[in-house]
Amino acid sequence: MTRLLTLVLTILVILSAPARAKLEIQEVTSPGGIKAWLVEEHSIPFVAMDIRFRGGTSLDAPGKRGAIYMMTGLLEEGAGDLDAAGFSKAAEELATSFSFDAHGDAATVTARFLTENKAASLDLLRSAMVEPRFDKDAVDRVRAQVISIIAGDAKDPREIAQNAFDAAIYGAHPYGSASTGTEESVNLLTRDDMIAAHEAVFARDRVVVAVVGDITAEELGATLDRLLGDLPETGAPLPPKANPIVEGGLTLIDYPAPQSVAVFGHIGIRRDDPDFFPAFVMNQVFGAGGFTSRLTDEVREKRGLTYSVYTYLATYDLAHLIMGSVASSNSRIAEALDVIKSEWAKLASDGVTEDELIAAKKYLTGAFPLRFDGNARIAGILAGMQLDGIPMDYIETRNDQINAVTAEDIKRVAARLMRVEDLKIVVVGQPTGLE
């Protein structure tokens, strides 16, 4: 318990520390050729590591939907010589924390450990990634957990709407179905499927690594080979780019509830598009700015039609959309959607005001440094940057790129991007006034 308390206190110290003025990011290459980004921080005896494998649940084999999602849930359910209980006990005794997850673009592994337990913690992490056991009792237990998640999603109007939207625009592409799979597909998965899913994802040709904390570049180089060197060189081929077919229109899904949930969107903008930053600032004004956004003002504050309405730029590896969601009573969802469509068209024709632009820039540039409030957060940001192909100097140049955006830039991009006639809308509920 003393070590666990030490870890908790360490994390609290890290999270309460002021944001770093500047990050010194090093690119480290191991003797075996594995690369990582490193920020050395020796003031606290703690290390955060974020490892991501490109492809994620999009690499599910045909007919095996849900295998990769389920497989990642099994990685800390026994590895090497340790069964699930033994693995959990070992992690607790070391006061180390691991997390494994997967989504459509990546499988993610995070680790947090004290410097004094670095070697043993890394050995335990290596066993989870390289030598998972996939014991039958663990497979059955995690299968039941995944089926419970699927059952819960089937009763969640927002999940129903999102899944229907994805199926409509992506079709047979992996993005077109839930990463969890279906109850039927998950029930058919075997231990051999878990092994195949692991081999498809956990390979050196698709890994990115970010490390922040009490470790040197020389130590990290040796650690990378020790941790990842025994993984296969290559995994399953990455899937092709998605070709979203977004045709404007409305889909209604009957669901007995006092309110309706809507998901809407159309083709968006790539992360590497020269106009991405004007689109990013535009979306902050329009729907991403919380209580300061135009949609919140028009739909919630002025008309009281919803508690929450928002939009976001969905820049996935294999597709790019501008998306949004709103929930309202069945009797008022039609009005809420009318207001959203009206504002969508207004943004396309008129852009944003100077006051809106100034407020958005002030928020985006002021909030950015606050994201770097701990080793774990920084490691996650650096890993995400690598997956997105963003250069190291982005952290230093990002605010300059936002400040360079003009109202004219946004008006040009809004006219290009915001196409109300292309909006695909899926509504789940029992709305009135919609056909």
Whether 385 maps to a domain, the answer reads: no
Same domain for 293 and 210: no
pLDDT tens for each residue of the chain, 435 residues long? 334 434 443 443 343 343 444 789 999 999 999 999 999 999 999 999 999 999 999 999 999 999 999 999 999 999 999 999 999 999 999 999 999 999 999 999 999 999 999 999 999 999 999 999 999 999 999 999 999 999 999 999 999 999 999 999 999 999 999 999 999 999 999 999 999 999 999 999 999 999 999 999 999 999 999 999 999 999 999 999 999 988 899 999 999 999 999 999 999 999 999 999 999 999 999 999 888 899 999 999 999 999 999 999 999 999 999 999 999 999 999 999 999 999 999 999 999 999 999 999 999 999 999 999 899 999 999 999 999 999 999 999 999 999 999 999 999 999 999 999 999 999 999 999 998
Whether 233 maps to a domain, the answer reads: no
Determine the pLDDT at residue 373. 87
Determine the pLDDT at residue 21. 46
Whether 435 maps to a domain, the answer reads: no
Angle at 279 between CA 277 and CA 284, to 5 degrees: 95
Whether 434 maps to a domain, the answer reads: no
- For residues 176 and 274, what is the distance between their CA atoms, to the nearest angstrom? 28
Whether 240 maps to a domain, the answer reads: no
Same domain for 256 and 134: no
Same domain for 292 and 179: no
Structural domains of the chain, count: 2
Whether 182 maps to a domain, the answer reads: yes
Q: From residue 79, give the alpha-carbon distance in Å to each of 114, 125, 127, 130, 354.
A: 21, 9, 5, 8, 57
Owning domain of residue 224? 2-9+18-228
Residue 110: strand pairing partners: 50, 99
Same domain for 316 and 213: no
Same domain for 282 and 223: no
Whether 346 maps to a domain, the answer reads: yes
Same domain for 207 and 253: no
Cβ–Cβ < 8 Å for 212, 378? yes
Same domain for 397 and 313: yes
Same domain for 122 and 255: no
- For residues 259 and 71, what is the distance between their CA atoms, to the nearest angstrom? 36
Same domain for 259 and 218: no
Same domain for 322 and 274: yes
Task: Give the β-pairing of 249-254 and 424-429.
Answer: parallel
| Token digits of residue 336 | 């809420």
Same domain for 259 and 117: no
Residue 312: strand pairing partners: 323
CB within 8 Å of 147: residues ≥ 6 apart: 183, 186, 187
Whether 313 maps to a domain, the answer reads: yes
| Token digits of residue 267 | 């083709």
Determine the pLDDT at residue 2. 39
Determine the pLDDT at residue 291. 86
Same domain for 318 and 367: yes
CB within 8 Å of 212: residues ≥ 6 apart: 38, 39, 41, 47, 48, 375, 376, 378, 379, 382
Three-state DSSP at 311 gives strand
Residue 49's CATH number? 3.30.830.10
Three-state DSSP at 35 gives strand
